[in-house]
Amino acid sequence: MTELTSNQPAAVGSMTQAIENIRLARHQYIVNLLTKEGLDSFLENQFQTFAITHTKREFLLRDLRELSKLPLDLVHYATLIQACKANPQHIPEHEPFIFREVEIIFKKYGLDRP
Q: What is the mean pLDDT of residues 29-45?
A: 96
Domain, as residue range, for 54: 2-108
Within-domain flag for 95: yes
Residue 50 lies in a domain: yes
In a domain, 67, yes or no: yes
Give the integer Cα–Cα distance in Å for 32 and 65.
11
Quick one: pLDDT at residue 2? 37
Rounded Cα distance between 50 and 42, Å, is 10
Q: How far apart are CA 114 and CA 50, in angstroms?
A: 14
Q: pLDDT band for 1, please (50, 70, 90 cuts).
A: very low
Does residue 64 lie in a domain region? yes
Instruction: Count how many domains the chain has.
Output: 1
pTM of the predicted model as reported, rounded to 2 decimal places: 0.80
Q: How big is the CA angle at 9 (ends 96 and 2), to the nearest 5 degrees?
A: 145
If phi > 0 it is left, if psi is from -120 to 50 it is alpha, else beta; for residue 60 that is alpha
- Which of residues 44 and 3 earns the better pLDDT score? 44
In a domain, 114, yes or no: no
Residue 113 lies in a domain: no
